[in-house]
Structure 1
Amino acid sequence: MVDTRQLGRQPGSMRTVNRIVTVPEAFETAMASVPKGQEIELDLRLEAVMEGVLVTGTAHGRLNAECSRCLDPLSEELEADFQELYRYAADEEESGGSDEDAGDEDEDYYLEGDLLDLGPVIRDAVVLALPLSPLCGPDCPGLCAECGVKLADAGPDHGHGDGVDPRWEALRSIAEDPGQQ
């Protein structure tokens, strides 16, 4: 939770916040994650606007993953940018909005008094910044499809004979004798 009292409700006022938070639950995809209990540094800019408070920020942290080609563990820096508008809570008398606007309310974030909860916004930004197919290096050759050995360690002479896939054998016989049909 971030307190916005110092910001006031006057449009145009702005303040910056730098904070380190602990991840309450793992932010993860299939191959990468920011583990529970890890720290993330937040650089935030809070701006009061007519509708509420505009939060622009960057989350810096460290992700853990497995290379999608060779399955080696890796750890690298993560940076996730985000921007979200937290609306002031509207009273029933003040809101002159129609019923059409009611559907949009579910997608909006609202201030809780003078506090804003950045948890869901940070979680979404970090998860979207996680790589879907992390690599230990851009030239990682991966694993051998036949025996599973890491090709970077196997050497250039690694092979398994002719190794023609039996499913292609019928096409090979046609290619060797094109007149036979």
Structure 2
Amino acid sequence: MLDTLSLGRRPGSMRTVQQHIASPSRIGLEMIAIREGGDIDLDLRLESVSEGVLVTGTVRADTVGECSRCLEPFTGEVSLYLTELFAYPNSVTDQTTQEDEVYRIEDDLIDLEPAIVDAVGLELPLRPLCTDDCAGLCAECGIRLAIAESGHGHEILDPRWAGLAAAFGAGSEESSSASDSKNNEEK
């Protein structure tokens, strides 16, 4: 909460706010977010305008997440530029907008949490990655490809060719040893 009482209502008056606050709840998306209790750094300017208080500045915080490709936990940072108008009670803006269209000042206090939640939700990626070149997981065995041996792969025989492969002994050790013993018997 930011107090606007000392700012006054004269358009053009402004003040800066630099604060470190603890996140009151988890802020973000399902796979990446600012953890509850995590530090949020605010470097803001509050400017009185005719309809309310214009809040501009940067919001920075550390994030924790899970990679959408390899499912490993990772940490990062979100930094965004915030520009929001908080309307005075009974101002024209307050009276002519819907409840969710503009933020409002209540009892000379600005509640930044909804504005930060909305801005962070738009800034964070829907599919976060631990690194830009994350290879993900092997589709067959589930091992993380980043730690798998080079050339990791699985030979998969198309079921449509299985009958042909069995007839000619291709694709299995048992088939090749059976055909070798058959050849030895014929000699």
Q: Decide: shared fold, TM above 0.5.
A: yes
Distance, in Å, in 1 between the alignment partners of 2:7 and 2:77 is 31
TM-score by length of 1: 0.80
CA contact 1:58–1:81 (8 Å) conserved in 2: yes
Distance, in Å, in 1 between the alignment partners of 2:101 and 2:35 is 27
3-state secondary structure, aligned to 2:147: helix
* Structure with bigger gyration radius: 2
Aligned-pair CA distance for 1:143: 0.7
3-state secondary structure, aligned to 2:98: helix
CA contact 1:27–1:35 (8 Å) conserved in 2: yes
| Alignment counterpart, residue 115 of structure 1, candidates 109, 112, 127 | 109
CA contact 1:140–1:152 (8 Å) conserved in 2: yes
1:114-133 alignment to 2 at 5 Å?
A: 114-133=108-127
The alignment-based identity, stated in percent, is 50
CA contact 2:4–2:109 (8 Å) conserved in 1: yes
Aligned-pair CA distance for 1:156: 2.4
**5+ residue gaps, structure 1:** 174-181
Mark the CA change 1:156 to 1:3 in structure 2 (over 3 Å): closer, same or farther: same
Name the structure 1 match of 2:49. 49
3-state secondary structure, aligned to 1:153: coil
**5+ residue gaps, structure 2:** 165-187
Cα deviations by residue, 1:77-113 (Å, 9 ceiling, x for unpaired): 111222111111117xxx6x98xx3x53442222113
Name the structure 1 match of 2:167. none
Name the structure 1 match of 2:80. 80
Using CA pairs below 8 Å that are at least 6 residues apart, which structure has the higher relative contact order? 1
Matching residue's letter, 1:121: A
CA contact 1:59–1:126 (8 Å) conserved in 2: no
